[in-house]
Every structure is written in structure tokens, then in C-alpha cells.
């Protein structure tokens, strides 16, 4: 059976690179062939899997420099129809692409806001004169480069190869260990829901006007000896000061300890959603880029 | 003495509206005249106060729909030279500005990413055909409107008046009680550091590889009976999974309870920064807009 994976397009985004790396893993370990499908936004990619149009979706969830991808968390909570199948961590190296031969002639730099932020200090130091312009994806930024040597774009070096664009400066991210965690999501009603794994992700809201309410769920994890690898608050959107909490736990929700903790959580949260138990895969972007290269004649429009 | 306040410009942003509302408060209660100074980014506005160029800075910190403004939190931590003087909460009502007379002719909508997100459902429902394009401020979005009836911008209705632009649809925000909290920041070494107030904001990091470490500071607040009105995690930018926590406490750091809690926190955090104790002011945007109107002949470029 062919697996279809939705991702934030167009072709050349970091999410596609992560999807290619994940496909390699699927093909090597499961012997399944994979088709990637580009969508114009993260919510639309997630919706495609919720509606059964694609088997899986891959979405960025957290970057080591910029933090949580709020659209992903908010959409996951709103849909309540998707489960996490895997987490994929991939190193992110940004290149500065431009037809210019000298930094001093560059007047504007286009990229996705996350990529601009991840290169903020480099840009302030090396291109103080340039306007920074946000685009919806790192690939969309490349549209502005054609026949114009006064602009630059930030994207992966893989995208530069894919679209045959010159790289002016390599590795411009402020933090050399910059990496992004992606989640591979599946529909809630698939047969694979009972997989075991090392991590479990939950979201919960707390009873309103209840001082110290956050302490109770955290105390459940501490007493159970469950390590919290991440906590992120998001507004409920009802009123200022009301939050949802997204937590990643280092535990299997199907284990005895995990099940007991989940039962206790029901007593101290207002609503609680279990996004599933899964394992984490480390992705190699250079292997993925090499895979893409062999397909590039078909893949490019 | 004249007070100068730095804000994210250009003229017409919600931050300027909040600055005008705050100025009214200062003039009425302190009898001090106020000058507002526009800066091209939040970090540059904050830097101006850190360097003594302006007395104060006003910056957005949290929106009821979209959550924390990460640039503000990250810059506050990096500078470690600013204290919070006041919090200002202001209702945010977005208008759709366009030369078009009919929604069906609109092909693109420009605005700041936060404003686009706050109107996301309205846009999906009423302008499914339109491209959503991010700009650095809601005011910058207005540049695209001139003589073009195929585009629209999202901004305050006050900005529409200021730049004499037509409002096609009023109040397009998805949540009617949409509001934003701003912080008014001052330099660390000013004489006003010992003011008392209802709220205290802190940030701390935790010892690395210490399971359950977050529980300890939260337990300090619970045992002291201090309510946590907000917790937000941000990456330390060192490696994936290491966080700073920003918390708002309903307490005065100079009170006996506050001081004891701060002392206990030193024992269970890696680093701890106290951003100060302050009161919260509710801002009326219509009063601020009326004030701006009387100044608008001078204010406009």
C-alpha cells in the first residue's frame, strides 16, 4: 500500500525535507512506497489527514531557537481528530541565496518569519541595511530572487539546488545546533492507535479561577516519576489569562504508570486530550536531499 | 519633565494606540507631558530605553487569541536591563480596509501575522480566494491599498481615519473579546524601581537534566498562596528541550510573602530574573483615538 503524506509546500521547504527523510525511514523499515502532497498552510495539511485525503501529515512543532509553532498546537487542539505517529528531529542549516556577488548591494531579504528570526543576529551584523520581508514559506521567498541582485532569500541549501539558485553565504543561522522537531500525524481511527513508544503528548485546560490549579497535574507527573520534557501554554482564546497546556511526557501512555497518571489527571483538569504515544526519529537532511535529487526531474514543476 | 515613550511604528499601529492611551493616563495623573517615538522593531524600541534614549518603551506581550509575543520575552531576557513599570490591557478590534466595494474582487489581504491570525476564521469564511500576506506592522499593510481595489488590509479603524482610508467591514476579529496586554518598560537604574503593585513578573531557567525540576518553583508559589496568572516557556536557544519560564504572579515582590518566595526560588532555579512589580491599567482605545485626532495634523508625515 502506498502511504501519502501531506506537508507545507511548495516544494523545497524544510518540512518537505523532513518528509523525505521520514519517507526513507518508512521505505527502509516498512517496505512501503510514499507519495508526498504539498498544501498551502499547516492547518490545510492537517485537515487533509483528518478528512482521510492523506494517510499522514508532517508538521513542524518546535524549533530550538524560536520555540513552539503555535499554528500546529492550536490546529491539533481544534481538530481533536489526529494522533501523533512519530516525532522527527532534523538539524536546520540556513543558506543566504542571492544573485548578488557582494552583501553590500542587498536591500531586502525574504524568508519565513521563523527563518528570519533564526538568523536575526547574523542579519543585524552582516546586512544592517536590508529590509526583512516575511513570506509564507522559505520556498515562497525564492520567487523574489529572479533577475534581481538587490534581494536575497533564506532557505535550505537543498532548495537552492532544487531551483538552481546561487548560495552566497552558507550556514547563517545564529545557533549552530539549530534544529526543528516535526510531528507525523495520523487519523484518530486508524488501526495503529495502540502502538507503544517512548513519548506521550497531552493537552489540558484547567478549572477557571482556581489558584494553583497547574500545580496539581504537575504533581501527578512528579509523583509518578514521569519526566516532563516540554510544557507550552496557549491561550484558550476565551479570555486573557485562560490557557491550554501542551506537555510532552517521557512515558508510554499504555504502561501501568502512564495509565494511572492519565486517570489521576482527569480529576484535576477541565478537559484533557491524549495525542498519543510515539517514538522519536533523528532525520539526516543530507540523505533526504540526496533522495530528492534522484527524483528531481519528476518532482519539479 | 517630558516623558519619551518608544513604540513599534510607524504611526497607526495598535502599540501606538496603547501608547496614546497610556499617555492620557500619565498626563491626567502625573501632569507630565509625553512624546512618542516610533521604532522599526520591538527589539529596537526596547534597546532605546535600555540605552537611555527614551524614558519608557511600550511593547505588546500577550494577546488573548494568539498568545505570547515571543520577540518581547526573548529581548527582555537578553537585555536584562529593563523593568516593568505598568501593564496596559486594551481591547483590539480589527477592520478590513479596502478601496474595493465588494469582497469578491479582493485577491490579497495584507497585515501583521498576529492580526491575520486573529481574523483567520473570518478570512477563511468570507475571503477564501484571497492570499494572506504578512507585513511587519498593521500600518505597513496600508501601503498596499493605494489605487488598488483588488487588495485589502487589516488594521485598527483608527489607522483608517489617520490615513484617510475606507473601511469595508467593521470588527472582523474571530473573538469579540480579543484584547492585548502591553508592558510599559523602564531602565533598571531609575529611581522608580521600588514601586509597589499588584503583579510581579519573573523569568527563570532550571538545572539541566533534572527531572521534575519545574515542580519545585511552582510548589514555592503554591505554598506561599501566590497565584500564577500566566506561565510561558521559551527555548534557551542552547539545545532542543531546554527552556526559560516566564511567569506572572499576583503578588508584590516587596511584600514579606513575595520576598520569601523569591528567596526560596533562588534555591531551585539555575538563573532567576525579577522584571519588577507593577499595576495593571485598562486602556480605552476610543479615548486614545480621540486624543490622536486632535494632534493628527502635526502627527502625520
Residues of chain B with C-beta less than 8 angstroms from the C-beta of A230 = 233, 241, 243
Average pLDDT on B255-282 reads 94
Compare CB distances from A235 to B65, B174, B221 and report the shortest one's residue.
Answer: B65
DSSP chain A: --EEEEEE-STT-HHHHHHHHHHHHHHHHH---EEEEEESSHHHHHHHHHTTSSSEEEEEEEETTTEE-HHHHHHHHHH--EEEEEEEEEE---EEEES-SSGGG--EEEE-HHHHHHTHHHHHHH-TTPEEEE-SSHHHHHTT-TT-TTEEEEE-HHHHHHTT--EEES---SSTT-EEEEEEEEETTSGGGG---SEEEEEEE--TT-TTTTHHHHHHHHHTT--EEEEEEEE-SSSTT-EEEEEEESS-TTSHHHHHHHHHHHTT-SEEEEEEEEEEEE--HHHHHHHHHHHHHHH--
Does A67 contact B66 at a Cβ distance shorter than 8 Å? no
pLDDT tops 80 at residue A211: no
Residue B107, classed as helix, strand or coil, is coil
Question: Do the bridges between strand A34-39 and strand A3-8 make them parallel or antiparallel, or are there none, so unpaired?
Answer: parallel
Question: With the CA atoms of A208, A209, A214 and A216 taken in that order, what torsion angle do they form, in degrees rounded to the nearest 10?
Answer: -90
Return all residues near A217 (Cβ < 8 A) that are at least 6 apart: A204, A206, A245, A265, A268, A269
Pick from A153, A157, A156: nearest CA to A145: A153
Question: Nearest-5° angle of CA B146, CA B178, CA B280?
Answer: 115
Does A241 contact B230 at a Cβ distance shorter than 8 Å? yes
Compare CB distances from B64 to A225, A228, A235 and report the shortest one's residue.
Answer: A235
End-to-end CA distance of chain A: 26
Q: What is the pLDDT of chain A when averaged over all its residues?
A: 88
Residues of chain B with C-beta less than 8 angstroms from the C-beta of A181 = 240
Per DSSP, B157 falls in state: H
| Chain A contact present for B222, CB below 8 A | yes
Q: How far apart are CA B13 and CA B40, in angstroms?
A: 11
Average pLDDT on A191-195 reads 61
Distances (CA, A) of A187 to A56, A83, A87, A273, B109: 7, 6, 15, 15, 32
Nearest chain A Cα distance for residue B186, angstroms = 24
Q: Which three cell numbers stand for residue A198?
A: 517512548
Average pLDDT on B215-222 reads 85
| pLDDT band at B23; cut points 50, 70, 90 | very high
No. of helices (H) and no. of strands (E), chain B:
10, 15
Residues B50-68 pLDDT 10s: 999 999 999 999 988 888 8
Q: Which three cell numbers stand for residue A223?
A: 509523583
End-to-end CA distance of chain B: 26
Return the number of CB contacts < 8 Å for A and B: 108
Nearest CA in chain A to B43: A120
Task: Please tell me the predicted confidence (pLDDT) of residue B295.
Answer: 55
Nearest CA in chain A to B232: A233
Identify whether the C-beta of residue A85 lies closer than 8 Å to the C-beta of residue A279: no
Average pLDDT on A151-167 reads 93
Per the listing, cell 506521550 goes with: A200
Does A134 contact B132 at a Cβ distance shorter than 8 Å? no
Identify whether the C-beta of residue A43 lies closer than 8 Å to the C-beta of residue A95: no
Q: How far apart are CA A202 and CA A77, in angstroms?
A: 10
pLDDT tops 70 at residue A209: no
Phi and psi (nearest 5°) for B131? -80, 135
| pLDDT band at A294; cut points 50, 70, 90 | low
Pick from B73, B57, B89: nearest CA to B190: B57
Predicted structure pTM score: 0.81
Residue B213, classed as helix, strand or coil, is coil
Residues of chain A with C-beta less than 8 angstroms from the C-beta of B241 = 229-230
pLDDT tops 60 at residue A301: no
Per the listing, cell 517512548 goes with: A198
Q: How far apart are CA B292 and CA B290, in angstroms?
A: 5
What value of ipTM does the predicted structure carry?
0.72
| Chain B contact present for A218, CB below 8 A | yes
Identify whether the C-beta of residue B166 lies closer than 8 Å to the C-beta of residue B98: yes
Average pLDDT on A270-277 reads 94
Q: Which three cell numbers stand for residue B259?
A: 520576598
| Chain A contact present for B175, CB below 8 A | yes
| pLDDT band at A131; cut points 50, 70, 90 | confident
Task: Please tell me the predicted confidence (pLDDT) of residue A189.
Answer: 67
Nearest chain A Cα distance for residue B118, angstroms = 10
Residues of chain A with C-beta less than 8 angstroms from the C-beta of B135 = 134
Average pLDDT on A62-73 reads 87
pLDDT tops 90 at residue B35: yes
**A179 has which bridge partners?**
A91
Question: Do the bridges between strand B243-249 and strand A271-282 make them parallel or antiparallel, or are there none, so unpaired?
Answer: unpaired
Q: Which helix (H) or strand (E) holds B197?
A: none
Residues A19-28 pLDDT 10s: 999 998 888 8
Q: How far apart are CA B91 and CA B156, in angstroms?
A: 11
Task: Please tell me the predicted confidence (pLDDT) of residue B293.
Answer: 66
Does B67 contact A113 at a Cβ distance shorter than 8 Å? no
| Chain B contact present for A214, CB below 8 A | yes
Amino acid at each position: 500500500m502506498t502511504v501519502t503524506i501531506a506537508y507545507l509546500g511548495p516544494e523545497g521547504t524544510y518540512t518537505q525535507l523532513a518528509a523525505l527523510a521520514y519517507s526513507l525511514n518508512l521505505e527502509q523499515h516498512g517496505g512501503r512506497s510514499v507519495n508526498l502532497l504539498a498544501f498551502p498552510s499547516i492547518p490545510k495539511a492537517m485537515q487533509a489527514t483528518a478528512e482521510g485525503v492523506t494517510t499522514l501529515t508532517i508538521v513542524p512543532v518546535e524549533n530550538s531557537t524560536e520555540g513552539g509553532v503555535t499554528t500546529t498546537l492550536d490546529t491539533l487542539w481544534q481538530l481533536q481528530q489526529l494522533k501523533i505517529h512519530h516525532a522527527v528531529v532534523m538539524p536546520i542549516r540556513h543558506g543566504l541565496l542571492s544573485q548578488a556577488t557582494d552583501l553590500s548591494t542587498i536591500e531586502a531579504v525574504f524568508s519565513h518569519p521563523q527563518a528570519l528570526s533564526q538568523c536575526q543576529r547574523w542579519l543585524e551584523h552582516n546586512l544592517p541595511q536590508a529590509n526583512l520581508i516575511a513570506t509564507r514559506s522559505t520556498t515562497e521567498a525564492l520567487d523574489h530572487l529572479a533577475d534581481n541582485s538587490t534581494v536575497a532569500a533564506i532557505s535550505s541549501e537543498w532548495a537552492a539546488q532544487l531551483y538552481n539558485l546561487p548560495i552566497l553565504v552558507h550556514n547563517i543561522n545564529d545557533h549552530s545546533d539549530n534544529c526543528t522537531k516535526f510531528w507525523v500525524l495520523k487519523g484518530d481511527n486508524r488501526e495503529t492507535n495502540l502502538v507503544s513508544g517512548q513519548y506521550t503528548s497531552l493537552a489540558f485546560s484547567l478549572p477557571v479561577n482556581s489558584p494553583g490549579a497547574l500545580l496539581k497535574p504537575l504533581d501527578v507527573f512528579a509523583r509518578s516519576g514521569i519526566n516532563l520534557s516540554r510544557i507550552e501554554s496557549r491561550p484558550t482564546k476565551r479570555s486573557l489569562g485562560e490557557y491550554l497546556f501542551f506537555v510532552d511526557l517521557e512515558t508510554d501512555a499504555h504502561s501501568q504508570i502512564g495509565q494511572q497518571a492519565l486517570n489521576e489527571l482527569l480529576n484535576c483538569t477541565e478537559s484533557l486530550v491524549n495525542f498519543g504515544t510515539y517514538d522519536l526519529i533523528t532525520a539526516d537532511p543530507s540523505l533526504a536531499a540526496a533522495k530528492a535529487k534522484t527524483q528531481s526531474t519528476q518532482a519539479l514543476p
